[in-house]
Amino acid sequence: MKVLTKELWFNTPTRRAFVNITPQVEELVEQSGVQEGLCLVNAMHITASVFINDAESGLHRDMDKWLEKLAPHDPVSQYEHNNGEDNADAHLKRSVMGREVVVAITAGKLHFGPWEQIFYGEFDGRRRKRVLVKIIGE
Amino acid sequence: MKVLTKELWFNTPTRRAFVNITPQVEELVEQSGVQEGLCLVNAMHITASVFINDAESGLHRDMDKWLEKLAPHDPVSQYEHNNGEDNADAHLKRSVMGREVVVAITAGKLHFGPWEQIFYGEFDGRRRKRVLVKIIGE
Amino acid sequence: MKVLTKELWFNTPTRRAFVNITPQVEELVEQSGVQEGLCLVNAMHITASVFINDAESGLHRDMDKWLEKLAPHDPVSQYEHNNGEDNADAHLKRSVMGREVVVAITAGKLHFGPWEQIFYGEFDGRRRKRVLVKIIGE
């Protein structure tokens, strides 16, 4: 079995952001030498997400607006968690978008459909946070 | 390590549909010869979902109605993504339902609880789209 | 390849509950002897969830209230599934929170960020239900 483990670091300048991390993950798959296997990519923080969707900026603005409607940031006092914190909404937004993706590796490449791209979804940024990439296979 | 990779094709006659794909996945697990391992099943399109829930038509109608309330299709102009497209809601619905499932394989079978069934969730159908099944193990 | 398969049983006294199962999963990882691999933890019932978030009781009350707003239990008659049942909302709540998590194992331990904890999310409790842990690796 071949294994590759790598933590990627992010520090988004805004509270919320979507960062396309597909090129970094593709490079790690190549480094791993795995031809057939699985690639786990997960947020290591509970106010962030890793998800797969379209690399289209209009859609990202739609998602941001939609998540804000489902789990509003303000008023921060509506959440019990916001007792010295102001990020309860970030925990909820991440619950909608998911913590992780598992992507198949076939013939040495991420086995993707036509528009699949991997995103880091930040909901409480402006500080250093991590994503884990774990690749196993042969 | 044993590996099986297979793409399943769908073309639902309606925009939205839930298709029970459990028998097809079970057959692939058998074909793979894997006794102990993991089975990844994921939508290859970003307006569709693979999820596990109940094979009960009343629940499916409830889900459809509920997703339409959380992320309405109309008016299509409410979404920036719908600039020549009309499927922004499908991207959001799929975000709620998830892209993929990972199912354990134990003693050569999908290791399921009593009512678990795998569904393809289509939110922008009426065209050919794919699901990936990747099985790894021994 | 090393494999460990284990079903954990729960019977929560309340309809809804969040149970921190991290210590049990950590013990199974140790038992497995796997140094590098993947650990799948999934609800075996379709009205329950396994998810990763913060072990903070205020946040758990926020989540419970938020899920009740997104997918209310009452009136039970609003759901077609509630025909002899009253748990349609539990199927929807679990769809938001997800069925499963896949956690990397690195150097014999769950490879976690600073606050990640694994929870069993029960949305239709007061009866015996199961969670599956499947560990594979070397």
pLDDT of residue B38: 98
Mutation for C interface: B3, B22, B49, B54, most C CBs within 10 A:
B54
Interchain proximity A132–C96, CB inside 8 Å: no
Rg (CA), chain A: 16
Any idea of the CA torsion for B101, B105, B111, B112, to the nearest 10 degrees? 30
Interchain proximity B91–A116, CB inside 8 Å: no
**Chain A neighbors of C66, CB-CB under 8 A:** 71, 92
In whole numbers, what is the pLDDT of chain A averaged over residues?
98
Measured distance CA(A62)–CA(B97) in Å, rounded: 17
A110: tokens are 């991420």
Give me the residue label for tokens 């002897």: C33
Chain segment C19-62, per-residue pLDDT in tens? 999 999 999 999 999 999 999 999 999 999 999 999 999 999 99
- Identify which of C44, C92, C95 has the shortest CB distance to residue B116: C44
Dihedral sign for Cα atoms in the order B133, B94, A61, A79: negative
Measured distance CA(A6)–CA(A30) in Å, rounded: 13
Average pLDDT over residues A38-67: 98
pLDDT of residue A55: 97
- A22 pLDDT band, cuts 50/70/90, is very high
* Residue B68 near chain C (CB below 8 Å): no
Average pLDDT over residues A28-48: 98
Residue (of C123, C65, C117, C69) closest to C95 by Cα position: C123
- A43 pLDDT band, cuts 50/70/90, is very high
pLDDT of residue B71: 98
Per the omega criterion (within 30 degrees of 0), is the bond before C114 cis? Answer: no
Measured distance CA(C30)–CA(A128) in Å, rounded: 30
Q: Which residues in chain B land under pLDDT 70?
A: none
Looking at chain A, which subunits does it touch, using at least 3 CB pairs closer than 8 Å as the criterion? Answer: B, C
Query: What is the SS3 string spanning chain B?
Result: CEEEEEEEEECCCCCCEEEECHHHHHHHHHHHCCCCEEEEEEECCCCEEEEEECCCHHHHHHHHHHHHHHCCCCCHHHCCCCCCCCCHHHHHHHHHHCCEEEEEEECCEECCCCCCEEEEEECCCCCCEEEEEEEEEC
B85: tokens are 């497209």
* Residue B59 near chain C (CB below 8 Å): yes
C46: tokens are 């379709």
* Residue B96 near chain C (CB below 8 Å): yes
Average pLDDT over residues A28-54: 98
Mutation for C interface: A99, A102, A123, most C CBs within 10 A:
A99
Q: pTM of the predicted model, to two decimals?
A: 0.98
Look up the ipTM and state it: 0.97
Chain segment A83-122, per-residue pLDDT in tens? 999 999 999 999 999 999 999 999 999 999 999 999 999 9
Residue (of C4, C100, C110) closest to C52 by Cα position: C100
Residue (of B33, B51, B138) closest to B102 by Cα position: B51
